[in-house]
Amino acid sequence: MLHSRRQILDILYRTAVAAGSYSLVAGCVPARRVSPAVPAGFARLAGRLNGTLLLPTSKQYDASRRTFSFNPRTDRRPAAIAKCKDEFDVATAIEFARANDLEIAVRSGGHDVLAASTCDDGLLIDLSQLNAIELEQGRSVAVTGPGATAGAVDRAMAAQDRLLALGCNPQVGVAGLTLGGGLGWFMGSFGAACDNLLRARVVTADGNILTASEEHNRELLWALRGGGGNFGVVVELALRAHPVTTVTGGYLCFDGGNLPEFLRFYRDYLADAPDALDVEVLVMAPARPVIFAMVSFLGEPDEAQRALAPLRAFAEPLADGVRTAPYPGVMSPTAEVAALFRPASDTPKEANDAPGIQWLGGSLDELDDAAITTIVEQIEIAQGGWAFNIGHHMHGAVCRATAADSPLPRPRGNFTYHFDAWWGSAASAPERMAWVDGAVGAMRTHETAAYVNYLSNNDPASVRSSYGANYARLQSIKRRYDPDNVFHRNRNIAL
């Protein structure tokens, strides 16, 4: 079941993966050396955990250390992986890491593009087992663990006739998505995921377990609504649940040969988009270049049909898989659409010795003609295993929140974009990664301050620019809750 542009890449990558692993290590973060005394201490740590501690000799270690965007730049080998079962495990792991001068990485879904959710020679705190999901307060609030994926939460809420404002990719972890902002299908109607965060349980750097809400630690709640993982490890999130069951959505597919015309149309079409409409675009060439326009409309079906009429009229669709149906199933491609994702029967088979994927992107203040020209030029020189994505058009409810509500900037009319490449063979990795680097580099002249979840580097100036006027307030809160910058593997708020 496919739901989003990045899940499609996820499926393609995992199909190619089988079980290959890299021997290359090209991380840009200096690794700390593990003290000889630490390995013996790991036995004591394992005995204190309700969960499981994985060491490099453990059977599950290699699979558990990988991120979604696994490639020679994001290959990391933690000294140990603490698969935490509860908030006390998280506090125990933090205490052990600090006592032994181990770098800490925290993972919910592991989709971070820069592999912030893993590290070399440190302790990886894995939250995947903290994945409980329930409704409370008259079914108006969904309470979930950070390790739950957006898709799992969506399905659990659908069974209760509820919907959450999460992202577009069901594979991402709810915590990372929400803490970095969480732009998604329903941001025009309900705002970003972070705007719907009502409270959070947080384990701080000193091992305290706090509740951040409007009543308690209010400044911390503000920072968590878009400020990332800078302030502690979130072990529970309470999110607003909306009483919605059906959505008009799915895929409209067009000939990729019309890409320049389509992108100009798309820009102008979304400029007047109603709050209820979101359109994400994926361009790929499984067998031939295809434009996959993924649409979501949260409203009456007749209103949806009127809103989608100009998109349908752009050209004769190769496939029209848009329908009104319960969410999240409505976002899955129909059989007609799915056929366009299949490669041609004569596509050469690539070796599968070291599969990987890379995606990098940023934000555009506007999708002007110059940016469109650059996008098309970069796609024209792509060589196999590529995709381009654009969407997250900032409009509606997400732009009505203010700096008093959240540190997430709300530039009306912005788009996010990313270029993607995947491969099965180590021999293909350098060329594919070089294409992504070159494409993103070519877009720099068109970029604005990036949506932080898509920020493709950890440069302090870029992080500061992403948060703009809210950065100083985030620094103040960082100094209060993490004065030693223990939680720095993120888009770091520098002290």
pLDDT, averaged across the chain: 92
Are the beta carbons of 491 and 228 closer than 8 angstroms?
yes
For residue 483, what are its two tokens?
A: 């004065």
CA 420 to each of CA 211, 333, 357: distance values in angstroms, whole numbers, following the listed order: 38, 20, 7
pLDDT of residue 35: 55
Cβ-count burial 34-68 (b if 16+ within 10 Å, e if not): beeebeeebeebeeebebbbbeeeeeeeeebbbbb
Average pLDDT value for residue range 60-88: 95
Q: Which amino acid is at 484?
A: D
CB burial class (10 A; 0-12, 13-18, 19+) of residue 473?
Answer: middle
**Residue 53: phi, psi to the nearest 5?**
-110, 120
Question: For residue range 232-245, what is the model confidence (pLDDT) as tens digits?
Answer: 999 999 999 999 98
Query: What is the model's pTM?
Result: 0.92
For residue 472, what are its two tokens?
A: 């100083």
What the chain holds in terms of domains, given with CATH numbers, is 5-12+28-126 (3.30.43.10), 133-243+472-481 (3.30.465.10), 246-454 (3.40.462.20)
Q: Which residues pair with 83 in a beta bridge?
A: 52, 126
CB burial class (10 A; 0-12, 13-18, 19+) of residue 142?
Answer: buried
Choose among 7, 2, 74: nearest CA to 387. 7
| pLDDT surpasses 60 at 203 | yes
CB-based contacts of 47, cutoff 8 Å, min separation 6 = none
Average pLDDT value for residue range 248-275: 97
How far is residue 328's CA from residue 334's CA, in Å, rounded to a whole number?
13
H-type alpha helices, 332-406: 335-340, 369-380, 397-400
Q: What angle do CA 390, 396, 398 make, to 5 degrees?
A: 80
Question: For residue range 88-118, what is the model confidence (pLDDT) as tens digits?
Answer: 999 999 999 999 999 999 999 999 888 999 9
Question: For residue range 188-201, what is the model confidence (pLDDT) as tens digits?
Answer: 999 999 999 999 99
Average pLDDT value for residue range 56-81: 94
More confident call, 1 vs 59:
59
Element (H, E) at 388: strand 386-391
